[in-house]
Chains A and B, each alone.
Chain A
Amino acid sequence: MRQEIAKILSNEEISKDIYKMEIECGLAQEAKPGQFIEITVPPFFLRRPISISEIKENTIVIIYKILGEGTKKMTEMSGDLDIFGPLGHGFEIENKDHVVLVGGGVGVPPLFQTAKEYLKNGTNVDVVLGFNDKETIFYEEEFKALGCHVYIATMDGSYGSKGTVINAIEDNQIKTDFVCSCGPLPMLKAVQNTFEAGYISLEARMACGMGACMGCVVKDQEGHSLRVCKDGPVFPIGKVVL
């Protein structure tokens, strides 16, 4: 965990309203799959929490969607970037023969490094990605290039299975006892109801990003509070009340 002035190497649109930014930074050496960074976006006050998509030797890649004024401003940024991280608990890489990664929309990015790490361990990786429509799909080819089996669902049926990631899992008769998932809340609820083992990664409005402000809390099954930023964002399936 450190604050540093990093360097933006590239910042380009890869799908409708979806941008990919490669950042040269020291914290690349500490980062783990599923962790995130907080980015200063002048003139906005609070940092933006963005998940780390890929970790290389001296760079990290983030993929973000224009969701508001801050992320819109990010698309214009170049040169220096004030970042803080890596933050939170990411995806534990467990010893498995087979894992299914389930991502929805802007929840897809942290699964990329997770896929890389599992493949490195010799695990078979199936990837199921859900998007609104054909126009908003990204990273299908990138996951394939890693060596994953990739299945796509679109809500409007314009590409792959029609409906949600759960429809795509059923259509393709994907069987698993272990999933890692990140995406919108309704998708995570469906994943948590369908699968018994694995991990889900949550999104939240955050301020500090490091566990001090209690802005992003959720409750576990026993009613205790957990901080998405510090205790998560990745939690074991079944731990958090969604």
Chain B
Amino acid sequence: MDISVKLPGLNLKNPIIPASGCFGFGKEFAELYDLSLLGGIAIKSATPKERFGNPTPRIAETPMGMLNAIGLQNKGVDSIIENELPFLANYDTEIMANVAGATEEDYIEVIKKLNDQPVIKAYELNISCPNVKHGGIGLGTNPELAARITKMAKEAATKPVYVKLSPNVTDIVSIAKAVEEAGADGIVLINTLMGMRINLKTGKPLLANLTGGLSGPAIKPVAIRMVYQVSQSVNIPVIGVGGITCAEDVLEFLNAGASAVEVGAQNFVDPYVCPKIIEELPKVLEKYGYSSIEEAVGKAWK
């Protein structure tokens, strides 16, 4: 079965994309399997300058998931262009650059630097990271600010712009509509849910950053619900993400209205999860009576 998906800027041979922050820049996973198997890769967030990120501990386990408070650690966009993108150019897969920053200007600076990089096929605007004090989620929880940064990014970008939204909001649809009106080419749903764990031995928060972003199977129902709501309300494609561990989960996201998906925390649990899903997906689609990806998309509300 042909499971390719065509989205703005992205010719995906299959709808499976490792999620940003869960796959680095691919080098470690390339020791395990051929990255060309993947539909695409959402590479780790780029900011204008190097960021060390938050103090440790940055990781805490939760029931069916985990909290992380990495804090957008990266070497900065210039280093990424020099040291990471040439490696990714060796593979036949579509690279999405996740763009982050502390200010609106930071996002624009990163986009302008990446515009000349042919290996980058689209941008994923990260206005939803819960682990940074400035930028990140502050931009993604207010429709006006979300629209403003989207518009600025579209003006600066020479490639399609997807906006990755935060689930930590009262009304996800209003934010999705605002970024669509501002010119977004697609929406990625959802980033992590803000959470906390307390260490009973000390009575204090377990993460040094106090709060972290919840990911893993625990958040899948929230992601499905938001994809279901948003995909009916906008006319741009939605990429679903949140708690995917198997091909059946992918079909659930397609039914909810996603055109493609990103796989996040499960890469830490099963490093081969993406190729496994890619192999299983046609069989699962067939089992539920679909002869194409398109037939499955949005069935929940069509």
Contacts and interface: CB of A to CB of B under 8 A. Distances in A.
Nearest to B21: A213
Given A45-B66, A208-B267, A215 B52 contact: no
Interface string B251-286: 000000000000001011111100000000000000
A212 B267 contact: yes
B58 A205 contact: yes
Given A205-B57, A213-B22, A213-B68, A45 B216 contact: yes
A1 interface: yes
Q: Is the interface of A mostly helix, strand, loop or mixed?
A: loop
Interface in B52-102: 52-53, 56-66, 68, 70, 73
Contacts, number: 90
Interface string A204-242: 111111111111111100010100001000000000000
A209 B24 CA distance: 12
A143 interface: no
A3 interface: yes
Interface residues of B, number: 35
A218 B271 CA distance: 23
Interface in B198-220: 216-217
A27 to B, nearest CB: 13
Given A45-B62, A45-B216, A216 B56 contact: yes
Contacts of B44: 214
A3 B267 contact: no
Nearest to B31: A1
Interface string B1-43: 0000000000000000000011110011101100000000000
Contacts of A211: 24, 27-28
B197 to A, nearest CB: 12
A47 interface: yes
Nearest to B61: A46
A206 B59 contact: yes
A199 interface: no
A46 B29 contact: no
A219 B270 contact: no
Given A45-B65, A217-B73, A212 B59 contact: no
Contacts of A205: 56-60
Given A3-B270, A217-B73, A219-B52, 7 more contacts: A205-B60, A206-B59, A208-B267, A209-B268, A212-B28, A213-B22, A213-B70
Interface of A: 1, 3, 40, 44-47, 70, 84, 204-219, 223, 225, 230
User: What 7 pairs across the A-B complex have the smallest Cβ distances?
Assistant: A212-B24, A215-B59, A208-B268, A207-B268, A211-B28, A214-B73, A205-B57
